[in-house]
Amino acid sequence: MEHAHLPTTEAAVSAIRALAEEFRLSVSVTDDIGADRTSRRTSAPPFTVTDPDGSLPHEAFVELAGPPSVSVRLFPEDDAKITVEGVEFHDVPRDRVPAFLRSVYGGLAFTKGRLFPPGQWLVVPLPGDETYKELIPLSFLTPWLARGIRR
């Protein structure tokens, strides 16, 4: 399935704000703009704001009120880290972030458990048979994560 292309961090933030409004969630956004401020540019020389190609990197951290509590860190490299109730999903493509959040807040995400190897996974299905799955630490099952357990 094709996802809407989000060419910039600001486009992704706007899409997240629209989704938050749809689900009536409060949203908080913190922007870091410039090579000297973004987290993946630790090797940037002092007082250097642009990348070597002249572009101005933009990174954003978005927090959405729950349940569930969700945070999204949007990186300039077209990917994101989404944390749902403490479970981290790394390297989610920026274009997939709105669909991911829609699945979480729309009730499609679920927790799946196994006896061997023992563990619980948070599974987030997206349209088009795309699924993200991450292991939940055993002692970290919150009430929201426990509500949707499937065997």
pTM of the full predicted structure?
Answer: 0.84
In the block, residue with structure tokens 């927790």: 111
Q: Does the structure show a pLDDT above 80 at 150?
A: no
CB 95 within 8 A of CB 5: yes
Q: Reduced to 3 states, what is the DSSP secondary structure of residue 150?
A: strand
pLDDT band at 54 (very low <50, low <70, confident <90, very high): low
Indicate whether 56 pLDDT > 90: no
pLDDT in tens, 78-88: 899 999 999 99
DSSP 71-131: EEEE-TTSEEEEEETTEEEEEEEGGGHHHHHHHHHTT--EEEEETTTTEEEEEEEETTTEE
Q: Mean pLDDT for the chain?
A: 83
Q: Rounded CA gap, 83 and 89, in Å?
A: 6
